[in-house]
Amino acid sequence: MVCISGVLSTSTAAEVCFNELGCFDDLPPWGGTAQRPASILPWHLEEIGTRFLLFTQQNRHYQEIKTDKSIQASNYSRMRKTRFIIPGYLEKGDEDWPQDMCKVMLKWENANCIAVEWKKGVKTQYAQAANNARVVAAQVASMIKFLMTDYRSFLCFVPPLILCSGLDPAEPYFQDTNSSVHLDTSDATFVDVIHTDGLPFNSKLGLGMSHPMGHIDFYPNGGELMPGCSTNRGKPTDLDAIWEGTKKFDACNHVRAYQYYSESMVKSQGFVGFPCSDKGSFDAGKCFPCAHDKCPLMGHDADRFNVMDGVSKMKYFLNTGGSEPFGRYSYRITVTLDGPSLPNLGFLYVALIGENDNTEEYQLHLGALIPGRNYELLIDAEVNVGNVTEVNFRWNNHIPDPWNPKYGAAKVELQRGKDKRM
């Protein structure tokens, strides 16, 4: 999640309390419910081990900051926006992705980027990690309050936050819970969510929530199975071992959310979200192209979208690539075929030539070539060609033809997805 220290005071069987942070109990809605059956108290602060790692354009490596006057020796500045990067699941070998995201962000934005590290508190059994997260959230709120009181500068902060981006929020222990437990629109002035692993946990081991929960919710590739990833393998009973890192698990679908977000800081136009009711309608081209100002950008620039009624009632769909770069640029191309009156079997191909770059060649049609017929294709281009200057058209015989027929394009129409531009 991208958004948004205390001394142990007292502890009882039902709650644990920390100075400044308050008390945490194990009663509903936090435990003892159908969605959160285990009643578990959070660990002590030392066991969770939360650290706040500050990155700015002035320091190449992080500076650890605390809620005390030592921050005056850091590069934190009240003149800049402040962003927090808070991880959930940590894939082995990629535990420091929040730090990497800060480094990418600072190439494009002069901000205070704070990576919140709580590796000790998250690498444990799942229900324990879910409850440790409550304390981490309180620690983040405490840090925000401290910075606001002492420095009075903020983008995202003590409730209500300005902006909060959910990166495939976890389903177990959070879906169908009380609104105080999971992310929703009350948590910030603007909440956007990216869903990438939304298959049901109990049957398909999907780690992410599928339900809309933000002001706008993005479903790249349908939000369940990402290109370049395999289906999740395992059983629900494996969750603790997966979270602890003791069982091998490919979390490719789940971690795609933060990978898309990171790339969106560099190539925002490659992540245009199309309003659509469902994936089937989107794949059929029924939601193409965008109406005027109706398509938000998934990721870092999502907050530029103006939600007129406060909460958008539409899901947003888009396609991505299966590997970096993930961003895609959408077009609809229609070719009216010209040629001999008798149909022949063959292939039709098209490619886009632009001011900035050229696309690969795409197969427009395979089968009977019928003059006068329109052949249409939705293209998710792998590069941003800029303004299209020409469309290359090519055909091949499906089988050798002694009559040597010749075909051409009587008419070519091209429409850009993000703005209807022809």
- Split at pLDDT 50, 70, 90, the class of 414 is very high
Q: Residues 39, 74, 77, 153: which is the catalytic one?
A: 153
Structure tokens at 240: 């603790």
- Catalytic, 153? Answer yes
Distance of CA 283 to the CA centre of its chain: 20
Summary mean pLDDT of the chain: 89
Under CATH, which architecture does the 15-318 domain have?
3-Layer(aba) Sandwich (3.40)
| Predicted pLDDT at 17 | 94
Q: Residues 182, 195, 215, 254: which is the catalytic one?
A: 254
Q: Residues 5, 26, 165, 168: which is the catalytic one?
A: 168
- Does pLDDT of 9 surpass 60? no
User: Could you report the per-residue pLDDT of 323-367, keeping only the tens digit for each?
Assistant: 999 999 999 999 999 988 777 888 999 999 999 999 999 999 999
DSSP label of 208: B
| Predicted pLDDT at 91 | 79
Asked if 98 and 116 touch (Cβ cutoff 8 Å), the reply is yes
- Catalytic, 168? Answer yes
User: Could you report the per-residue pLDDT of 201-255, keeping only the tens digit for each?
Assistant: 999 999 999 999 999 999 999 999 999 999 999 999 999 999 988 999 999 999 9
Element (H, E) at 258: helix 252-264
**What percent of the chain has a predicted confidence (pLDDT) above 90?**
74
* DSSP per-residue letters across 103-151: HHHHHH--EEEEEEE-HHHHSS-HHHHHHHHHHHHHHHHHHHHHHHHHT
- Summarize the annotated binding site as residue ranges: 184, 187
- Does pLDDT of 156 surpass 50? no
| Predicted pLDDT at 205 | 95
Q: Cα–Cα distance between 181 and 213 in angstroms, integer?
A: 12
* Averaged pLDDT for residues 36-48: 95
User: Could you report the per-residue pLDDT of 84-119, keeping only the tens digit for each?
Assistant: 999 988 777 788 999 999 999 999 999 999 999 999
Q: Fold identical between 15-318 and 329-416?
A: no
| Predicted pLDDT at 402 | 65
- Does pLDDT of 160 surpass 60? no
| Predicted pLDDT at 150 | 62
Asked if 405 and 340 touch (Cβ cutoff 8 Å), the reply is yes
Sorted by where each begins, the domain ranges of the chain are 15-318, 329-416
When comparing pLDDT for 265 and 157, which is higher? 265
- Summarize the annotated binding site for Ca(2+) as residue ranges: 184, 187
| Predicted pLDDT at 413 | 93
Q: Cα–Cα distance between 197 and 206 in angstroms, integer?
A: 5
CATH superfamily of this structure's domain 329-416: PLAT/LH2 domain (2.60.60.20)
- Catalytic, 365? Answer no
Report the predicted TM-score, pTM, of the whole model to 2 decimal places: 0.91
User: Could you report the per-residue pLDDT of 126-155, keeping only the tens digit for each?
Assistant: 999 999 999 999 999 999 989 887 654 444
- Does pLDDT of 8 surpass 50? no
Task: Put residue 318 in one of left, alpha, beta given phi > 0 → left and psi -120 to 50 → alpha.
Answer: beta
